[in-house]
A and B are shown apart, each in its own frame.
Chain A
């Protein structure tokens, strides 16, 4: 008896010591709303890919930190040439990929050349548009030659679409990603979760978490139950805003309301008659009551928008008045355009903001005489049929890339904007470096997009983060689509 007591005392003492000495070695399970279609950030537009892999598994030459600043990644510093037509980067020495292969300037050159090659699968070709050639004079020096000045290049290089990949693993990254980050990929149970484990050979400060799991939970009811039961420790973006006050009142959890770069839109396929008519698109926009969506779908946690620009951006202008809610005028516009008995299908990906907004919008469109069929689609189907196949009438989605107004200058993009003047403005924006002139161009673009009712702009997606109160280092905002957990740890 006495011996057992002594033993347990010793044990208790030992655990106390270790608790002080080492961080808590507990895995982190993160809940996400959507599952990535594959695991190569350089070959897909789905935000979920970056939300699992960015900074955790894959690293770029530069990276974006929690505040949205560009900070060193695999390049320690960089400098523009005097004419602004070249960027010289100094690369980190001694970096290896998870399979042991070394990272050097040749690998960096390969990564950039692969990403910007004509016909590449990369979802953001505009990031590399100014690059003329890439040279690797020595293993730790990379020189990027530009065809025109591009002050944003260090920022562009920080995107998930510009991360460093090795020639030997580039083609298989979709299934088994091999990067240089502090976590290595362990396994992907499709439909359920992706597991990352700590990379003990990391070049920098090792991650504090031994393992990170990304579990996919679309249904807000299931998400709430999993959180309450402790099956999932954190939802960087929680799908049931009506429950936030309840969760906030529970001392076990932290609730943070941050910003995202996600403009939630009802995209219009303007190549499908009669959606090619401005009056019909305006009618759609005026039939939608944004405030009803903000209240009814988001429980007041979102901000209405009138153009594809986040309200916290310096170039933002409030254009919610351009096609404000006015069902009578929507009806009149439809009558004027001679459109009767309009039947449209509204496709809804499995996020709760899309499903809920869709139900409300369907009811609102019926009020102005548009017969809407709701079509729930799985995320993989949305990406292949709607986003890439462009086969849809209307769909609701949030575009979470930062500074992504450029997509409105791409006529082949899935909403088919065909506005040469707009493309001109956005092309001018690509080469403009003067901040004041940039803001002017951005505002002109916003006005033009709102006036043309390219899409129905609904609200800025909030980042309603919910996580275990013992977690430290979770991102409060989403300046880039990522769940960077490299600095996250358990306080107890």
Chain B
């Protein structure tokens, strides 16, 4: 049930974000001061912001940025973290120790600190925010893959594979990876929700998306000094962030219930 509700809401969000990449009801790059602070109406369902831009269009464009950044951040985490974790699980004691202690070290730096360092070096942008959150994700997936990998490697069929002459790398790729995929997928959904929050946070403090890139976090930041004249400007992006995180978290929970071996039947063997 949770899988379907969360999945449906996530798909709706992703659909909006995809559409916004090509089309929004009104252009978000055009400022029309004469039309600012309009109340909701038939033309502008949620009204207009302090630059006269349509809020629905802004939220759609913000979804594009948010989901884009989150997708890139999770992709970076999976692409680097999972191979590292598999290496640690199957590479012997020393490799394991080096990889896992490095992961612990990387964990010591919160995403925000990584982002501050990165933006100082490379300048603030949505892309660099994605990279920063991505770096934060690498040890998460490395640990997950290592723990899952060790569990799989202790099973009998791995010994069978070894006896049939398969090397460590082949075993990791052909037997371990498919077996930890469900756990990685579930974690990816969770990290996706966290990444959306992180992007909003970074953009809010000015380290993420820069104008003219639209971002929910930036919308919130700009709304803050206008809270007395137009409080709705802070409400909509705030609700959007809550809705997005809730949808994806629900989806992740549903996935976990369905896929995680700790919740479901025994490990799938090939």
Contacts and interface: CB of A to CB of B under 8 A. Distances in A.
Which of under 10, 10 to 19, 20 to 34, or 35 or more describes the interface residues of B?
Answer: 20 to 34
A219 interface: yes
Contact of A366 (B29, B51, B124, B229): B29
Given A296-B31, A360-B33, A362-B211, 16 more contacts: A220-B225, A221-B224, A242-B229, A245-B229, A289-B33, A292-B33, A296-B51, A359-B212, A360-B31, A360-B51, A363-B29, A363-B51, A364-B31, A366-B30, A374-B211, A374-B212
Q: What are the 8 A-B residue pairs with the smallest beta carbon separation, nearest first?
A: A363-B31, A296-B33, A292-B33, A246-B228, A240-B225, A221-B224, A359-B211, A360-B31
A291 B31 CA distance: 13
B10 interface: no
Contacts of A364: 31
Interface residues of A, number: 25
**Helix, strand, loop or mixed for chain B's interface?**
loop
Interface in A278-304: 289, 291-292, 295-296
Nearest to B228: A246
Contact of B225 (A242, A358, A362): A242
B31 A221 contact: no
B221 interface: yes
Given A243-B228, A296-B36, A376-B210, A221 B221 contact: yes
A362 B211 CA distance: 10
B50 interface: yes
B68 interface: no
Nearest to B30: A363
B206 interface: yes
A363 B34 CA distance: 14
A4 to B, nearest CB: 46
22 contacts: A219-B206, A221-B221, A224-B224, A242-B226, A242-B229, A243-B225, A243-B228, A245-B228, A245-B229, A246-B228, A291-B33, A292-B31, A296-B31, A296-B36, A359-B51, A359-B212, A362-B212, A363-B30, A363-B31, A363-B51, A367-B30, A376-B124
Interface string B25-65: 00001110110100000000000001110000000000000
Nearest to A366: B29
A30 B31 CA distance: 34
Contact of B210 (A220, A224, A296, A374): A374
A364 B31 CA distance: 7
Nearest to B225: A240
Contact of A296 (B29, B50, B206): B50
A243 B228 CA distance: 7
A21 to B, nearest CB: 41
Contacts, number: 56
Interface in B211-257: 211-212, 221, 224-226, 228-229
A465 to B, nearest CB: 17
Contacts of A362: 211-212
A240 B52 CA distance: 18
A224 B225 contact: yes
A224 B227 CA distance: 11
A29 B202 CA distance: 28
Nearest to B210: A376
Contacts of A359: 31, 51, 211-212
A323 B148 CA distance: 69
Contacts of A363: 29-31, 51, 212
A359 B36 CA distance: 14
A289 B211 CA distance: 20
A391 to B, nearest CB: 16
A369 to B, nearest CB: 13
Contacts of B34: 292
Contacts of A366: 29-30
A367 to B, nearest CB: 7
Contacts of B33: 289, 291-292, 295-296, 360
Interface string B71-105: 00000000000000000000000000000000000
A224 B225 CA distance: 7
A289 B225 CA distance: 24
B234 to A, nearest CB: 11
B135 to A, nearest CB: 23
Contacts of A367: 30
B232 to A, nearest CB: 15
A28 B199 CA distance: 37
Interface string A295-320: 11000000000000000000000000
Contacts of A296: 31, 33, 36, 50-52
Contacts of B52: 296
Contacts of B29: 363, 366
Nearest to A350: B206
Contacts of A224: 224-225
Nearest to A360: B31
A368 B210 CA distance: 23
A359 B33 CA distance: 11
A396 to B, nearest CB: 13
B229 to A, nearest CB: 6
A367 B27 CA distance: 12
A313 to B, nearest CB: 28
Interface in A325-370: 355, 358-360, 362-364, 366-367
Contacts of A242: 50, 225-226, 229
Nearest to B34: A292
A144 B181 CA distance: 85
Contacts of B30: 363, 366-367
